């Protein structure tokens, strides 16, 4: 449980401190989603509930789709502007 909290805090700090680089912001969001998934898995294991494991699989699928959409928007932005810096 402490590991998932630590990962979530690292994700929040990564999102706040790296406002210039959008790739690092996407990675920080992924870390936060995986920390929530880890917390859900730990709590479902301790409560002996299979529903939490099912929800964690859905969260992982949504996180994968979110990263694909974010990276495709990033590629389209790079083709349009020529760079991926948020501050120009």
- In this model, does residue 70 exceed pLDDT 70? yes
12 lies in some domain: yes
The total domain count for the chain is: 1
Helix axes 2-17, 22-46, angle to 10 degrees: 160
Could you tell me the pLDDT band of residue 6, with boundaries at 50, 70 and 90? very high
Domain that holds residue 66: 1-81
- In this model, does residue 69 exceed pLDDT 90? yes
- In this model, does residue 88 exceed pLDDT 80? no
Rounded Cα distance between 49 and 41, Å, is 9
CATH at residue 55 = 1.10.287.3510
pLDDT in tens, 24-51: 888 999 999 999 999 999 999 999 889 9
Neighbour-count burial of 37, counting CB atoms closer than 10 A to its CB (0-12 exposed, 13-18 middle, 19+ buried): buried
């Amino acid at each position: 449980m402490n590991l998932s909290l630590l990962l979530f805090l690292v994700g929040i700090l990564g999102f706040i401190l790296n406002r210039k680089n959008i790739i690092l912001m996407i990675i920080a969001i992924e870390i936060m989603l995986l920390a929530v998934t880890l917390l859900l898995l730990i709590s479902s294991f301790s409560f002996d509930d299979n529903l939490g494991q099912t929800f964690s699989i859905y969260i992982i699928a949504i996180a994968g789709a979110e990263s694909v959409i974010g990276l495709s928007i990033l590629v389209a932005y790079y083709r349009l502007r020529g760079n991926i810096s948020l501050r120009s």
